[in-house]
Amino acid sequence: ELKVEQNPLFLSMQEGKNYTIYCNYSTTSDRLYWYRQDPGKSLESLFVLLSNGAVKQEGRLMASLDTKARLSTLHITAAVHDLSATYFCAVDMWVTGKLIFGQGTTLQVKP
């Protein structure tokens, strides 16, 4: 059974600090997605990582994928309040688009 685990589940950090969210999954896959969800809102696509070693950056967020370690990271650089949200990683193991999501990491950035 494919399991996707994120840690931490909750992260409170100061503005200007750096931090990393980890996403581990239990079965081989080379397709990993990161989504952002604001309270009461839908999921917004952030990154699609499609190969080992893939790295993508958008603003203060950078995502990477290590398929051998079955690990993806979402790195936050110099956090700002606007980044406060819940971040989900999701894995597509069967190459069908059937996504298995992690539990989510709720990020709270304090001024």
Six-digit token string for 74: 């979402």
Task: Give the Cα-Cα-Cα angle 38, 58, 31 (nearest 5 degrees).
Answer: 80
Task: Give the Cα-Cα-Cα angle 18, 34, 60 (nearest 5 degrees).
Answer: 30
Q: Which is nearer to other proteins, 49 or 83 (CB)?
A: 49
Q: Which is nearer to other proteins, 76 or 90 (CB)?
A: 90
- Rounded Cα distance between 17 and 14, Å, is 6
Q: How far is the CB of 52 from other proteins (least distance, A)?
A: 14
Q: Which is nearer to other proteins, 61 or 100 (CB)?
A: 100
Contacting residues toward other proteins, per CB under 8 A: 4, 31, 33, 35, 41-45, 48, 50, 88, 90, 95-104
